[in-house]
Amino acid sequence: MRVLGIESSCDETGVAVFDVEAGLLGHCVHSQIDLHATYGGVVPELASRDHIRRLPALVRQVLAESGCSLAQIDAIAYTAGPGLAGALLVGASYAEALGMSLGVPVLPVHHLEGHLLSPLLSADPPEFPFVALLVSGGHTQLMQVTGVGEYVLLGESLDDAAGEAFDKTAKLIGLGYPGGPQLARLAERGHPGRFRLPRPMLKSGDLDFSFSGLKTAVLNVVSGPEWKPEDAADLAADFQDAAVDVLCAKALKALELTGLSRLVVAGGVGANRQLRQRLDVATRRKGWRVYYPEPELCTDNGAMIAFAGARRLAAGEVPGMACAVKVHPRWPLAALRAPGAA
């Protein structure tokens, strides 16, 4: 079975073909980051217009790369939420219409399910059950995963997502958009420990996060009388240290509380080098293991959507009514059910 996957929930337009026997045949992401960099932020409606323009060409390109034609596609999976309504609707309409014209089943997929299953696409995939740490610009969650569609929310951010905190802190320090990765690069040149930033909710006793106060602490530093722009690298290092401290501590606590030994880290912030180093060291010490998606599959992509759709179809999920274009801009992951479950 071959599944065409389509992702268009935010900035990236992603398309992929996944074959249940042969694996990932091809995938391509058309990042809209350049467009946004000229404006200085993510642009919801511009993004949706861009998805419209780019989807047909991307599908042609990925099919060519995969060496297959539309007639060889057995099903289509698309991101139905959560995300920006306009952007989601482009992918949904395209997928449903294409599915109808080809006469193949079309499956709406949860964006975060795509992310948390994405490490299963790597050469050394984790087995169920595991704890998943989802960290991106829009989401910061810890989930207990016992199988496809079996997710229990263990904790989440009460305010800003971790990636949002990286981006906003970068802006406060004076870096461009998207500032998160730049902040991480700047942090490598700095020395942490000078600014004594807080570790929000580190000792809260639960698995929830809060990053808003950390951002405020950075604001207080940069608007204080002693702030010098040449200290930016040290402040970036301090911020990254604080954010990574909390992410690590809560992820390890989640493993402890669930009694599980496998941690999956997904989402854009999962590419952060310091986060990876710290998690690797801490889990090794306990005899646990961390799994990451392939680097190119950390950020939004179509491969994870094709894969999640394929897993669901293979497990017996029956797609709903033909050509029902319905998206869910807000959609709790824990609301999903396993394929075939009532």
Partner 1 sequence: MIHVHHRADDSSPLTAHLDDESDTASAGAALAAALRVGLVIYLRGDLGAGKTTLVRGVLRALGHDGKVKSPTYTLIEPYLVSRLHLYHFDFYRFAVPEEYLEAGLDEYFDGNGVCLVEWPDKAAPYIAAPDLEIRLTVSGPGRRLEALALTEAGQTCIRKLDSELSRNPT
By the rule CB under 8 A, 54 interacts with partner 1: no
Could you say whether residue 26 binds partner 1 (CB under 8 A)? no
Piece of the chain touching partner 1 by CB under 8 A; list 63-71, 115-123, 212-220, 311-319? 212-220
**Closest of 68, 78, 69 to residue 105, by C-alpha:** 78
Establish whether 5 is an annotated binding residue: no
Q: Is 135 marked as binding a ligand?
A: yes
Peptide bond into 229 cis (omega under 30): no
Residues 6 or more apart in contact with residue 34 via CB below 8 angstroms: none
Q: Does the annotation list 138 as a binding residue? A: yes
Residues 101-160 binding partner 1 (CB under 8 A) are 137-138, 156-160
Q: Which residues, 226 to 245, sit near partner 1 by CB under 8 A?
A: none
Does 155 carry a binding-site annotation? no
Does the annotation place 246 within a ligand binding site? no
Find out whether 92 and 325 touch, Cβ atoms under 8 Å. yes
The answer to whether residues 327 and 41 touch, using CB atoms and an 8 Å cutoff, is: no
Minimum CB separation of residue 127 from partner 1 in Å reads 32
Residue 137, marked binder: yes
Instruction: Tell whether residue 40 is a contact of partner 1 (CB under 8 A).
Output: yes
7 binds partner 1 (CB under 8 A): no
Quick check: 181 binds partner 1 (CB under 8 A)? no
The least CB distance from residue 82 to partner 1, in Å, is 8
Q: Is 50 annotated as a binding residue?
A: no
212 labeled part of a ligand binding site: no
- Tokens 């854009």 locate to 268
Q: Does 267 bind partner 1 (CB under 8 A)?
A: no
Query: 206 among the known binding-site residues?
Result: no
Regarding 51 and contact with partner 1 (CB under 8 A), the answer is: no
**Nearer Cβ to partner 1, position 26 or 82?**
82
Min separation Cβ 72 and partner 1, Å: 37
Nearer to partner 1, 93 or 261 (CB): 93
Give the shortest CB-117-to-partner 1 separation in angstroms.
Answer: 22
CA distance 89 to 81: 9
Q: Report CA 21 to chain centroid distance, whole Å.
A: 25
Contact pattern from residue 69 through residue 98 relative to partner 1, giving x for each residue in contact according to CB under 8 A and a dash for the rest: -------------x-xxx------------
Answer for which of 36, 250, 253, 278 binds partner 1 (CB under 8 A) is: 36
**Interface contacts to partner 1, rule CB under 8 A:** 36, 39-46, 82, 84-86, 137-138, 156-161, 164, 168, 171-172, 212-213, 215-216, 218-220, 223, 329-330
